[in-house]
Amino acid sequence: MKLHHSILIKSALLLVVLSCALWHCKDDDNAIVERNYQLVWEDDFSGPAGQAPDAAKWAYDIGIGPGNDGWGNQELQYYTDRPENAALDGLGNLAITARSESYGGRGFTSARLNTKGIFTQAYGRFEARIKMPWGPGIWPAFWMLGANIDQTPWPQCGEIDIMEYRGQQPNVIHGSVHGPGYSGGAAITKSFDLVNDRFDVDFHVFAVEWGEDYIDYYVDDTLYQRLRPESIPGEWVFDQPFFIILNVAVGGNFVGFPTPQTPFPQTMLVDYVKIYKEAI
């Protein structure tokens, strides 16, 4: 196995520059396109509280990453498959819970679930309804990696971040892609700022609609970013199946350290994950 996954380093300054640049590029290309999708895969996380998520749909990443480097990001948590870190909440949600506890040599535990080798798909609508955790240093994400990652190392395999969130910016989420020449701090990113509201007080739907020559980023019904091959400064690698990842990281390059004021445990609630394919 080789390098497993992403470097999401980016400076705040760069983020701001990119955000502003993208914010102003309102053109007709951003118009919402109605597409005819059919549901092909879903998990609505129904089941009794404490039950593990469906093993037929989800696998776990365990530990601190293959490089013992916090999954390439200096993340502080140890990922487990215990129900303390990932379980159904009995109310129809998957609860991924980050805890402050000593475990496996780390000061925090959490969980990272994926569909690698279970379900992969190229193109379609990938959506999840999520209520965020909160607090500085909390970094939840709903994202995808190219299914060929074991043969074609990151960033060549591609990464589509449908939603990333910093606990210290509870009203902002980020949508990004990483690929060859535009990974880590150079990823293509746009932020979405919820006005007079925050992502940790209610559920919101985060989605991408992905086709051969576009990736549209949605929060609820708002399209806030459309990426096309021509808007990418490198090779468009988003032409093969990807698998899905849900996780809550603690600390790391993207988010910074949790502070003494960060309340633990922190739980990301996922109401559902639904994958559609565009009907012929």
For residue 164, indicate whether it is catalytic.
yes
Catalytic one of 164, 209, 235, 278: 164
> Which residue, 123 or 139, is less far from other proteins as judged by CB?
139
Phi, psi (5° rounding) for residue 224?
Answer: -115, -10
Farthest CA pair distance, the chain: 53
In the chain, % helix, strand, coil (3-state, to 5) comes to 10, 40, 50
**Residue listed under structure tokens 């009907």:** 279
> Which residue, 69 or 197, is less far from other proteins as judged by CB?
197
**Residue listed under structure tokens 């549901």:** 39
Q: How far is the CB of 195 from other proteins (least distance, A)?
A: 7
Q: How far is the CB of 166 from other proteins (least distance, A)?
A: 7
For residue 159, indicate whether it is catalytic.
yes
b/e 82-120 (16+ beta carbons within 10 angstroms → b):
ebbbbbbbeeebbbbbbbbeebeebebbbbbbbbbeebb
Chain residues that interact with other proteins, rule: CB under 8 A: 134-136, 138, 166-171, 195-198, 200-201, 259, 261-263
Q: How far is the CB of 131 from other proteins (least distance, A)?
A: 11
Amino acid residing at 213: D
Q: How far is the CB of 134 from other proteins (least distance, A)?
A: 5
Catalytic one of 84, 101, 127, 159: 159
> Which residue, 116 or 204, is less far from other proteins as judged by CB?
204
> Which residue, 126 or 199, is less far from other proteins as judged by CB?
199
Catalytic residues: 159, 164
